[in-house]
Amino acid sequence: MATDLPKLEAEFAAIAGAENVVASEGGWLVSPASTEEVAGVLRIANARGLPVKVIGAATKQDWFNPLDFHAGRPGIVLRTGRMHSVREHAAQDLTAIVDAGCAWGEMQRQLAQQGQRVALDPLWPERATIGGIVAANDSGALRLRYGSLRDLIIGMTIVLADGSIARSGGKVVKNVAGYDMHKLMTGAAGTLGVITQVNFRLHPVEQVVRTLTVRSLDLAPLERLMHEISDSQMVVNAMQLRLRAEADGKEMHALDVMFAAGAECVEEQAKWLRLSAMRLHVEEAGRGVWLARQSVFESASRREAASRIAAASQAEAASPMEAASVFKVSLLPQDIARFLAHLQAAASGAGLRCAGVAQATGLITASLMGDASASAALLRSLRAEVESRSGSLALQSALPQIGPGLDRWGASIDALPLMRRVKQALDPNCILNPGRFVGGI
């Protein structure tokens, strides 16, 4: 194999250009510029059984298992960064075709020139790429009104492991011809194919947007209000419940509600909310509150960095292992407030700090910070609790820090053998992001 390496490098260079192939320890970083170039690179990798790790801006690498590099084989890191255009924006049709390596924020700026956008609020929009966001199936608070990526993607171009280029869906929103392969690829962690282009349906950028925050010492009245709004005929864009962050001196929990409609309607709904909130504290809020999910990640990673520095400066065996872990919980909407309360009480009982923000759709982003083994134990018990209520808990941090033996996704999925067969059918040599996904797929 070793004698083969220069030849392989030359082959990659012939496809993507020498300046876009960088040799690194254990393989190459290759940056193809088109779907066809991706296909060329994958054909070589597939023929040789070389593992391929696909990255955009690498913002969510910790959401998946580390790459299971095949023993002794060089690997390829395939960067999508050179595929970064908004290919087509049919404003009158409210559709767009965008390259996978385009940063989310850049895409939104271009679409905004015609007053449109993809109605989704993923994490780190300035850095995160379309391909990465789709592969990780990220979604934010706007999901309440506009759905998730599966509702906003109408077509896709993918390259399979063997280099075949496949398209699904198309450029029209309503289309039932063939399988929805783009739904299969969304959230598949790049294990089934490399996404090179995504076709989106668009929505107009709303003219009148207003957020109100309701605060309370107890979660219960906020929970009641949230369910009352869910069960009402009001049209809200987003709604989230934020657990109070004790360390920041903010003593109250918060419910954020985003209205977007005609001016008159927004005014009416805001008035209704103020009346319904009665004795609770209500205030106008800026867009910043919708970064709450991102803050959970950022405070955890600050804490993580601080504890690493502290550990490095002390004698190795002296201090217990600290950890900061972020996780995503999915529950039925009626169960989220109870979960948040339980999280806070249990964390406090275990001497851990926690943060949490729950979307009205039932998706929660939360973190635990403190002693690593106490965190791991609590995560196990939280997961058992969540799974008993038909939910799931997925870790979105690097695993070694939160304790070995804790699976990233946990739930026993009876469709796992079927998922393995799907993987086998599309990537028989298992070269695409091997080992990174559920069940070691």
Partner 1 sequence: MLNQAILEDLGRMVGSDGIILEREQLQTYECDALTAFRVVPGAVVLPRTTAQVQEVVRLCARHGIPFVARGAGTGLSGGALPAAGGIVISFARMTRILEVDIANQRVAVEPGVINAHVTNAVADHGYFYAPDPSSQPVCTIGGNVAENAGGAHCLKYGFTTTHVLGLEVVLPDGELVHLGGAALDAPGYDLTGLFVGSEGTLGVATKAILRIVKRPEAVQTLLAAFHSSTAAADTVSGMISAGMLPSAIEMMDRLSIQATEAAVHAGYPLCEALLLVELDGPVSEVESQMRMVRDLCALHGSSEVRVAQTADERALIWKGRKAAFAAMGRIAKNYILQDGVIPRTALARVLRQIEEMGAAAGLRIANVFHAGDGNLHPMVLYDDRIPGQEEIALDLSYRILRACVDAGGSITGEHGVGKEKQQEMGYMFSEPDLATMQRVRCAFDPKGISNPDKLFPRPRLCAEKAGPYQPHPLEASGVAEFF
Minimum separation from the CB atom of position 143 to partner 1 (A): 8
**Per CB under 8 A, does 397 bind partner 1?**
no
- Beta carbon of residue 257, minimum distance to partner 1 (angstroms, whole number): 14
Q: Alpha-carbon distance 17 to 31, whole Å?
A: 9
CB of 111: closest distance to partner 1 in angstroms? Answer: 13
Instruction: Tell me if 390 contacts partner 1 by CB under 8 A.
Output: yes
Quickly count helices (H) and strands (E) in the chain: 13, 19
Comparison of 264 and 284: residue with beta carbon closer to partner 1: 264
Query: Going by C-beta distance under 8 Å and a sequence separation of 6 or more, which residues neighbour residue 315?
Result: none
Find the part of the chain contacting partner 1 (CB under 8 A) among 66-74, 159-167, 210-218, 304-312: 159-167
User: According to the binding rule CB under 8 A, does residue 224 interact with partner 1?
Assistant: no
Q: Which is nearer to partner 1, 319 or 390 (CB)?
A: 390
Q: Which residues, numbered 265-304, are part of the site for partner 1 (CB under 8 A)? A: 265, 268-269
Hey, what long-range contacts does 121-126 have (CB within 8 A, 24 or more apart)? 121/238, 121/290, 123/59, 123/60, 123/293, 123/294, 123/297, 124/57, 124/59, 124/294
Nearer to partner 1, 142 or 438 (CB): 438
Query: Between 21 and 336, whose beta carbon lies closer to partner 1?
Result: 336
Kindly state the tokens that stand for 166: 């496949």
Stretch near partner 1 under the rule CB under 8 A, chosen from 161-169, 218-226, 302-310, 374-382:
161-169
Residue range at the interface with partner 1 (CB under 8 A); choices 171-179, 238-246, 284-292, 398-406: 171-179
Tell me if 113 contacts partner 1 by CB under 8 A.
no
Q: What are phi and psi of 322, to 5 degrees?
A: -95, 150
Least Å distance between CB 382 and partner 1? 15
Give, in order, the Cα–Cα distances in Å from 143 to each of 148, 236, 334, 362, 409.
5, 11, 17, 10, 22
Q: Could you tell me where the beta strands, DSSP code E, fall in 372-425?
A: 392-395
- Closest separation in Å from C-beta 419 to partner 1: 5
Considering only residues 228 to 257 of the shown chain, the ones binding partner 1 according to CB under 8 A are 230-235
Give the nearer residue to partner 1 in terms of CB position, either 374 or 441.
441
Which CB, 21 or 239, lies closer to partner 1?
239
| Smallest distance from partner 1 to CB 135, Å | 12
- Residue 423 one-letter amino acid: K
Query: Smallest distance, Å, CB 153 to partner 1?
Result: 10
Q: Should residue 176 be labelled a site residue for partner 1 when binding is judged by CB under 8 A? A: yes
Of 191, 146, 256, nearest to 53 by C-alpha is: 191
- Selected from 171, 224, 338, 342, the binder of partner 1 by CB under 8 A is 171
- Binding to partner 1 (CB under 8 A) within 8-67 occurs at none
Segment lying near partner 1 (by CB under 8 A), choices 100-108, 146-154, 288-296, 303-311: 146-154
What's the start-to-end Cα distance of the chain, in Å?
A: 26
How distant, in Å, are the alpha carbons of 69, 150, 260, 339, 346 from that of 23? 16, 36, 50, 47, 48
Size of the site for partner 1 (CB under 8 A): 88
The pair of three-digit structure tokens given for residue 61, joined into one six-digit string: 């690498």
Q: Confirm if 67 and 434 have CB atoms less than 8 A apart.
A: yes
Site string for partner 1, 69-98 (x = CB under 8 A): ---------------------x-xxxx-x-
Whether the CB-CB separation of 51 and 29 falls below 8 Å is answered with no
Q: How far is CA 333 from CA 241, 337, 406, 441, in A?
A: 11, 8, 26, 30
Q: Which DSSP string corresponds to 322-377?
A: EEEEEEEEE--GGGHHHHHHHHHHHHHHTT-EEEEEEETTSEEEEEEEEEHHHHHH
Site map 180..219 versus partner 1, x via CB under 8 A? xx-xx-xxx---x------x---xx-xx------------
284 residue type, one letter: E
Q: Contact with partner 1 (CB under 8 A): which of 48, 127, 224, 328?
A: 328
In angstroms, what is the minimal distance from the CB of 402 to partner 1?
Answer: 17
- Establish if 435 lies at the interface with partner 1 (CB under 8 A): no
